[in-house]
Structure 1
Amino acid sequence: METWNKSRIDQMILDKVEENLNLDYKAANALDRGESKKKEIVKDVSSFANSAGGVIIYGVSENQDSDKRHFAERIDPVQREQFSKEALDQVIQTIQPRINGVRIHVVSISETQCCYVVDIPKSETAHMARDGRYYKRHEFTAIAMEEYEVRDVYNRRTHPKIEASFHIFRDSFRGRIIFKIKNTSKVIAKNGVIILEVPSTLVSPITIDGVDTIVHDDDNRHYWYLELPFENLYPGLEKTLFRNFDYVERISINGPRGANVESREFLKIQIFADEMPFISKEVPVLNLTSSWINI
């Protein structure tokens, strides 16, 4: 993990790194012992945990020009005596329920000044702010969550979460589609499947291990359909799935009433596992390379 220090923050300012869903800059006056500022701290930190996690840097001011908003302008250091790391941690610990894994990095600017970098993980449950509401990150700010969004966050701990990447290896006569999947949740993925819709121009005409199904979509474009099932993927574990394919002589495929049917120009991937919201990705054929692609 890259270390947080003054040089790193200086480089972010120089590189004009903009605030985003996972990054927020806060000037020194955002830290105060007043109740209103504490409420803002709790709201901001909980919004990251309720979303995808991220980093809040206290002690960096934003540019005030309208066309440069959300860019870091300069280091605006926190006075250690006025607001210590312990004081910040005490405020964060008032979030209900507590967020596991929050880390506060102290970046020294001088003997009496510093920046606090708060590293917040994505949580497996929803966290409530002091006003009794739940917040999420939206672009550059924290906004209140809808009821269904809160339910979805609570459900993170009841279903698995799968992260996946794939790679296509081909030579003159033989090829292989390889998937790496990982269960990043604390729940077993008991039953899952990767569904592939492979453009015929990518691997066609072909024979695929165990599958010879060709499908026409509503636009009369054809593709090969295959499934890669998996089961009992335990928390933190990875699994590799693959299918081989062979090139054969080109065939002609006709659609309804003999109409010419063209191939799709994208590879479509869907991943299902128990009650997890399904994952879907379309990758244009032209974007496929020999490197691994995240889904």
Structure 2
Amino acid sequence: MFESIDEIRALEGAEAESVSLEFKHGDKLADLRNNDTKSDFIKTVTAFANAGGGVAIYGISEARQDGLSLAGPLAPVTNRTVTQDRLREIVLSNTDPVLNEFEIKSFATDAGNVFVITVEPGYTAYQNKIDQRFYQRIDASAVPMYCFAIRDVMNRRTTPHVTASFKIDRPVQQGERHVYYMRPSISNAGNLTASHWVLQIGAPAPLAELEQQGDYRVIQLGTQTVGGHRASWFELSSERCGPTTGRLLPGETRALDATTGFARVSITITPETVRHIETRPPIQWTLMVDNAPKRSGEVPYDEWCTW
């Protein structure tokens, strides 16, 4: 969601806390040896997972205005022992069941680091093991959950829990020409079979094109601008798996490339077309599975492009 410290600075006075966004002063992570500090961190993360997901920014102050908590000036984490790896370990060690659907980014400033934690909606209810409580995001606050709310979130287990991931092949990395191949895959991390799924991929336009080398057709959806980036969109789905079944069993991971009959999407950059990546476009994706919430994400520019 945030790719630079300048994007975070731009929040000052312009963005308010909400059900999916929270600002935390860097002092909140000053002493991770303290159980109260760790518990408050886990409370924030699990509250997002038990609601609809969201983003917590540690290293930004709050300013009250008209009853709202607006983003204030940067207030970085000054304790240099606080790292992405340490924060990740705290989450993995203090949630039950183990919460792993989150991402942590770190942005350095002269005064310290700013951490951005992006949390996906959980497929069940996650407990803070430190204080043994369940929390959920209500408006702009993390509050304890009632029994009925915990049961409601636990019912998410009755829907398939499918995730998407991407590998990027770089067969051509010359000064005048770069070629990238996308290799998407989907995994069923839940307990139910996913009988129907659709994965839509948006790659920078007009650089992306479909190579018809697979047995199963990939649909081209045309171009669309999302998040300020113009992309060519392609669709892969269980409905076009030819003679084999498209269902995804619990625990199964399936590559969606030539090895399973799907055509390959390539991205080619040359000096003549390099202007189309001046906005540092990500590779965007949307995953839809029967009876489950739609999931969206992206592969950041720096992770797929080396131009």
TM-score range, shorter chain: 0.5 to 0.7
Q: Tell whether the 8 Å contact from 1:136 to 1:145 is kept in structure 2 after alignment.
A: yes
Provide the residue aligned with 2:173 in structure 1. Answer: none
2:41 corresponds to 1:52: no
Report the Cα offset of residue 87 of structure 1: 2.7
2:28 paired residue among 30, 46, 53: 30
C-alpha separation in 1, matches of 2:292 and 2:101: 25
**TM-score, length-scaled by structure 1:** 0.53
Q: C-alpha deviations, 1:235-266, integer Å up to 9, x for none?
A: 699xxxxxxxxxxxxxxxxxxxxxxxxxxxxx
C-alpha separation in 2, matches of 1:135 and 1:233: 37
C-alpha separation in 1, matches of 2:105 and 2:136: 23
Q: What SS does structure 2 have at the residue aligned with 1:79?
A: coil
Report the Cα offset of residue 67 of structure 1: 2.3
Q: How does 1:6-155 map to 2 (within 5 A)?
A: 6-14=5-13, 16-31=14-29, 32-33=31-32, 34-63=34-63, 65=64, 67=66, 69-93=68-92, 94-110=94-110, 113-129=112-128, 130-155=130-155
Equivalenced residues, count: 178
Q: C-alpha deviations, 1:99-157, integer Å up to 9, x for none?
A: 122111001112x6110000111111111012111110000111111112211212212
* Consecutive unaligned residues in structure 1, runs of 5 or more: 162-183, 192-229, 238-272, 279-295
Decide which structure has the larger Cα Rg and report it.
1
C-alpha separation in 2, matches of 1:12 and 1:5: 12
Q: Tell whether the 8 Å contact from 2:123 to 2:157 is kept in structure 1 after alignment.
A: yes
Q: C-alpha deviations, 1:184-231, integer Å up to 9, x for none?
A: 99545779xxxxxxxxxxxxxxxxxxxxxxxxxxxxxxxxxxxxxx9x
C-alpha separation in 1, matches of 2:47 and 2:145: 9
Identical-pair percentage = 27
115 and 68 in structure 1: CA distance in 2 versus 1, 3 angstrom threshold? farther
Q: What SS does structure 1 have at the residue aligned with 2:3?
A: coil
Q: Tell whether the 8 Å contact from 1:48 to 1:137 is kept in structure 2 after alignment.
A: yes
Provide the residue aligned with 2:176 in structure 1. Answer: none
Q: What SS does structure 2 have at the residue aligned with 1:134?
A: strand
